[in-house]
Amino acid sequence: MWDRDTMPTPDSSNRLSGWLLGLVLVIFSLSTYWAISDPADAVTSTRPTDPLTGHDLPDEVQRLLRFVDSARADSMGSRSSEFAASGVRCVAAALQTVASASGLDIDGELEVVREQATVIQRDPRPRVRASHAWLAFANLAVLLEGVQEARFQGLEPDVAGVSRAAASLRTDRPLRDQWEVVEEFFNRAASLLRSMNDTVSSPPARRMVQLPNAIKCSGYHAGEASG
């Protein structure tokens, strides 16, 4: 029970509320200053990570994963030659990043793949676009296999899935009639590259090497496609 002498008055309540508010503001200001002044926190808090593993995801791998996610959401958008060309470029960029982080140099081979992506996008002839898409898929499958054999033991089944998807594309049919095959290739390539990235999140000392001479993009010809 409050007695008359100790009962709080409106003035004392206001003074108490003002004192508590000031204390809260001081604590908030100090915590904000500490958060901003710590550079380590600033870096780690903005680094994107793989939601499945927590590993850091390079921008190129993120871009590829967003690309395949958008294709699932918009199946009509994946039935164009522009989609196929963009997917080839996304896979090439992600593969280049993972290979480089693993100490492998495949930049020259990937330039050939990017040239094929340009033909896929710009050539007006449907069968020519399909032929170059087959070439690009086959080249990417070989490069993925080469990188896997050199650095990522245990991912052989994933590579086999990419190779099967690449071999399923036909050169005698327009890409718009094979959109499920195109999507399947990009989905499997993205899954494989994410698995590779999980392994190289803490790579050993960097050492650039060349892939074996047997891995050559120029060794493929559209006429060799099955079916």
**Region 188-198 average pLDDT:** 94
Q: What is the mean pLDDT of the chain?
A: 75
- Rounded to the nearest angstrom, the gap between the alpha carbon of residue 216 and the centroid of all alpha carbons in its chain is 25
Separation CA 215–CA 150 (nearest Å): 12
Contact 95, 147 (CB under 8 A): yes
Residue 104, strand partner residues: 209
- For residue 1, what pLDDT is reported? 46
Instruction: Let me know if 182 is exposed, middle or buried by CB neighbors in 10 A (0-12, 13-18, 19+).
Output: buried
Q: Taken in order 124, 128, 132, 133, is the CA torsion positive or negative?
A: positive
**Region 183-194 average pLDDT:** 97
Higher pLDDT, 30 or 130: 130
- For residue 71, what pLDDT is reported? 85
Q: What angle do CA 209, 101, 201 make, to 5 degrees?
A: 140
3-state DSSP call for residue 96? helix
Instruction: Say if residue 211's pLDDT is above 70.
Output: no
User: What is the band of 18 on the pLDDT scale with cuts at 50, 70, 90?
Assistant: low
**Region 65-91 average pLDDT:** 87
Name the least confident of 74-78, 93-97, 118-122: 74-78
**Region 48-61 average pLDDT:** 65
> What stretches of the chain show up as alpha helix (H) in DSSP?
10-37, 39-44, 59-73, 81-101, 107-122, 126-151, 156-167, 179-199
Contact 125, 80 (CB under 8 A): no
Instruction: Say if residue 28's pLDDT is above 80.
Output: no
**Region 161-190 average pLDDT:** 96
Query: pTM to 2 decimals?
Result: 0.68
The domain ranges of the chain are 10-41, 59-224
Instruction: Say if residue 199's pLDDT is above 70.
Output: yes
- For residue 110, what pLDDT is reported? 96
**Region 179-204 average pLDDT:** 85
Name the least confident of 60-69, 114-123, 208-217: 208-217
